[in-house]
Structure formats: C-alpha cells, structure tokens
Amino acid sequence: MTTRRTKKLLYVKERKAKFAARQTTRAEILHVEEEGYITSDKVDEEEQRTVDLTQADIKSSVDIFSAQKRFDLELPLYGPYKIDYTRNGRHLLLGGRKGHVAAFDWQTKKLHCEMNVMEQVNDVKWLHIETMYAVAQRQWTYIYDNQGVEVHCLKVLDRSLHLEFLPYHFLLAATNEAGYLSYIDVSIGKKVASYNTRVANGNGKCGTSIMCQNPSNALIGLGHAGGVLTFWSPNQREPLVKMLAHKSTLRSIAIDRTGSYMATSGVDAKLKIWDLRTYKCLHEYRTASNGASSLSFSQKNLLAASYRDVVEIYNDICDNESASNELPRYLLHQCSNGASASSLAFCPYEDVLGVGHERGFVSLLVPGAGEPNFDALEANPYQTKKQRKHAEVKQLLDKIQPDMITLDNSVLSEIDRKGFIRKQEDKRNNFNFVKPKELIIQSDKKKGKIGKRLARKTQIRDTKLKEFLQQQQLKRKKNKN
C-alpha cells in the first residue's frame, strides 16, 4: 500500500527528475564547438579518398595554431617510446625503453623534466594530476614528480610490464613478469589487491603486457597467450569475465570511452570489434600480417592501429553498416626511417594522435578525433595552478572506493533481490511475530524471449504510429495554410 503522502513524494521526485532531464537536454545548446572533419572533394569526376592525404597536406590546410600540433621528436638513442597524455590532454609523458623519461607541456613545448633513470623502462603513466607520474622500471615501479624528483619507490609493484591508472578510484594497476596483477591505492599508498592472472590455457608462464582499462566500470582487461582475454576487478580472485577473443595470441586491446565497444587484435592478423554489453563480435577484419601491435580509441570513436611503421586510423569502425569486410580507413601515416610504432594514444580534447616509436615521437593531426566540448569540472585543458589544486582536493573527496568496482554498475542502484529474500526468510525463522515483507516487483525487468520480441514490436509500432501522426498533422497544417 502506498500512502497518499508517499504518492505525493514520488510525484514530486518524478517531476524533479523530468525537470532535470529537460534541463540537461537544454544545456546541450551550450556545446557550441563542433568537431573537425575532412570532406572528400571530387576532382576530375574521381572522388578523392581521405586516405591519400598526407600529414603535410593536412598541416598546410589548417590554421597556424593547429599546425603547431603536428611535430616530430627525433630521439634515436633510447627508443622505443611509451607515451601517455594527461586526462586533460595538456601534458605528455615519454618513456624510452632504455631509460629516457621526459615530461612536458606538449602544446607550448615547455619541458617539465627530463632524465635517464639508468634502467629499462617498461611503461610510463600520469597519475591524477600532471605533477606526478609513475614509471615502471626493470625492478621496481617509481613515482616521480614533474621536476623529475623521485617521490616514491613502489616495491609492491616489482618488475611491472604495464601500468594503468584508474582516475576515479586512485588505483594504479600493474601487471608484472610473474603474471600478477596488482592494485595500489595512490591516495593512501596501500596495496589493495594482487592476483595471479596466469591463464592455464596457452603456453605463457610469463605475465602479459597487454592491458587496458574499461573507463565505464573500471575493470582491467588483460590479453593472454592463446587469445584469451580476461577482465578483473580488485575484489575478486578470479576474472569476472573470460573470453576467447582470437584463436592465437592477442597483441593489443582497446576499449572506447563509453565502455561499450572493444577492439582486439591478434597474431592471426585479425582485428575484431566487440560489443562489451553482449560480448558478441560485431565486426571482424583482416589486417596486415601479425595484426596491429597497438590500438587506441579516440574520444569520438576513431580507432588507431599500428602495423610496424604504419599507423592507420579508422572511422565508424564500431557502427560500420556496410557488409563489405574492408577496413574503413580514414587516414594513414608512415613513420620515417621505418621506425615501428610502439605506443599509440589519442590526445583528449584535441584532434591529435601521439605515436611513440623506436626513434622518437610523432604527433599527428587527425581531424575529428577529440571531443570538442570539454567539461571544465571534469578535465580542463586550460587549467590554472589554483584550479588544479582545487580539482585535486575535489577528486580526492569524490574518490570511489575500490569495493565499488563491478562488472555491472547499475547493481548499486538496485535492491539486492537475493539478499532481500534471504533477509526476510531469516526474519520469518527468528521472529515469529514479525510479518515478513514480500518482494513486489511490478514489472520484471528480465523478460523472456517472446516478451522481448513483443516489446520490440510494440516499440517499433509506436514509433511508426507517432511518425504517421506527425505527418498527418503537418499535412493538416499545410492544408490550412
């Protein structure tokens, strides 16, 4: 029974929710910036393809400010380079395999620090702000500040191969040579969890360096030998999801910003696009031999893939509707001197792709890659020092506990049905005089096959009816006029 008062409460809340939704849609007017793009002209009745455009072409046709963003760094001695952009896309971190580490503001080309750590560098990663970054070195993982001063030596993360940072949870995740996945809470400096990720399947006893994070639910994806892909949370000893993505060893994984699409490449020279909501393969493309060595999604869902010294960029790869199994190539770039690319990263909020390769770093212009409208409360490219300080405090206050990481985020806003039934049964057993509540679910969310189909049908029918009615209305208006 719902009392009148509760009804009122619900009504008010519902109205507020509607208001909020309306306001949110209205606020989209404020997104005034539009993303960049390249249109293909027709020259002599022949359509020009965007793939034929070189970086020089693009650079010559954009404004000076954008043209500055296209540059090469020749660093032939300490490659191959791993790269990482900060979350606001303002700063860049380079980590050469042979110990060279450099951090700088890549837009103004102002160097923060540069050093050689005299050790093999496996990976570099920015932490929550641009004044701190982690470097996975041969023995331990270190944290340096932007002056290049060693702040911490994390002996918990030894012989790390790859680093991932979960910004909302302040977790630094690392895989190591022994096959362990370890999480460190950077805000309190404690080890949260460490699990053995060795997969019985396949021949690799050693750990994997194929790693990515799912930005929507903060799971860590690992690629293993034998084409197996696993998703991990710090709360469970076993992988939450384990899937056979390829029939041979995986080479790279990338997950898009919304966490609904995943791209994988394997040694079997295939590039697969997966829907992470259903775990089904959407597209399967044949690529150059050995597959893409690294993949990266941009904010606007462009996918960059590197094949030795060639970097390819695809557009509309996730929702490709054409039946042909050809890769929807958008742009191409070949690194000079045949230096094979080792690390790819799209710069957030910029139409720029950073490529770390054997002989340095290349910054490429990719129109339409970045999100044009940034949310300054989320990540502000034009952040001042004061804003950064405030943002750090706010970030820390809003820190999400590692316990909250799950496969399905919506679980938190739902009643635990099993727990509910268990609790009521306990009540019934322990207190005879208490009348247990019943679990009343008005409409069960999980419909059967037929129910689903019916729902879909009605939905389609309704939309068509709506369209029809709108047309009728238009006609009537015209007639009146």
In the bound state with another protein, the residue whose beta carbon lies nearer, of 54 and 120, is: 120
Considering only 26, 42, 477, 478, the residue that binds another protein (CB under 8 A) is 26
Asked if 56 interacts with another protein (CB under 8 A), we say no
Q: Is the peptide bond prior to 381 cis by the omega test (within 30 degrees of 0)? A: no
Shortest distance in whole angstroms from residue 469 CB to another protein: 28
Cα distances from 389 to residues 52, 128, 383, 393, 423, in angstroms, run 45, 11, 10, 6, 45
In the bound state with another protein, the residue whose beta carbon lies nearer, of 61 and 147, is: 147
The beta strands (E) that lie in 48-127 are given as: 71-74, 81-85, 91-96, 100-105, 110-116, 121-126
Asked if 441 interacts with another protein (CB under 8 A), we say yes
Asked if 284 interacts with another protein (CB under 8 A), we say no
Considering only 35, 50, 148, 198, the residue that binds another protein (CB under 8 A) is 148
What length is written for the chain? Answer: 481
Q: Which stretch binds another protein (CB under 8 A): 58-66, 174-182, 432-440, 469-477?
A: 432-440
| Contact letters for another protein, residues 124-143 (x by CB under 8 A) | -------x------------
Nearest CA to 228 among 239, 249, 244? 244
End-to-end CA distance of the chain: 53
Considering only 37, 57, 111, 465, the residue that binds another protein (CB under 8 A) is 111
3-class DSSP assignment, residue 250 = strand
In the bound state with another protein, the residue whose beta carbon lies nearer, of 201 and 471, is: 201
3-class DSSP assignment, residue 84 = strand
In the bound state with another protein, the residue whose beta carbon lies nearer, of 43 and 118, is: 118
In the bound state with another protein, the residue whose beta carbon lies nearer, of 385 and 477, is: 385
Shortest distance in whole angstroms from residue 249 CB to another protein: 4
CA dist 254 and 214 (Å) reads 9
Shortest distance in whole angstroms from residue 111 CB to another protein: 5
Q: Which stretch binds another protein (CB under 8 A): 247-255, 321-329, 456-464, 471-479?
A: 247-255
In the bound state with another protein, the residue whose beta carbon lies nearer, of 130 and 312, is: 130
The single-letter code of the amino acid at 49 is R
CA dist 249 and 268 (Å) reads 8
The single-letter code of the amino acid at 44 is D
Cα distances from 360 to residues 121, 310, 350, in angstroms, run 15, 15, 21
3-class DSSP assignment, residue 142 = strand
| Six token digits for residue 8 | 């009122």
Backbone angles phi, psi at 357, to 5 degrees: -130, -170
In the bound state with another protein, the residue whose beta carbon lies nearer, of 56 and 118, is: 118
In the bound state with another protein, the residue whose beta carbon lies nearer, of 38 and 407, is: 407
Task: Tell me which residues in 151-190 interact with another protein (CB under 8 A).
Answer: none
Q: Which stretch binds another protein (CB under 8 A): 46-54, 228-236, 308-316, 330-338?
A: 228-236
Q: Which stretch binds another protein (CB under 8 A): 41-49, 144-152, 302-310, 342-350?
A: 144-152
In the bound state with another protein, the residue whose beta carbon lies nearer, of 10 and 455, is: 10
Task: Tell me which residues in 397-426 interact with another protein (CB under 8 A).
Answer: 403-404, 406-407, 410-420, 422-423
Asked if 49 interacts with another protein (CB under 8 A), we say no
Residue keyed to tokens 């194929």: 210
Q: What is the distance of C-alpha 209 from the center of its chain?
A: 17
Considering only 16, 205, 452, 464, the residue that binds another protein (CB under 8 A) is 16
Considering only 33, 52, 57, 114, the residue that binds another protein (CB under 8 A) is 114
In the bound state with another protein, the residue whose beta carbon lies nearer, of 44 and 398, is: 398
Question: Which H or E element spans position 419?
Answer: helix 417-430
Find out whether 178 and 185 touch, Cβ atoms under 8 Å: no
Question: Which H or E element spans position 446?
Answer: none
Find out whether 274 and 245 touch, Cβ atoms under 8 Å: yes
Asked if 348 interacts with another protein (CB under 8 A), we say no
Task: Tell me which residues in 250-269 interact with another protein (CB under 8 A).
Answer: 267-268
In the bound state with another protein, the residue whose beta carbon lies nearer, of 190 and 466, is: 190
CA dist 194 and 214 (Å) reads 19
Task: Tell me which residues in 89-108 interact with another protein (CB under 8 A).
Answer: 97-99, 102, 104
Q: Residue 5: how many CB atoms within 10 A of its CB?
A: 8
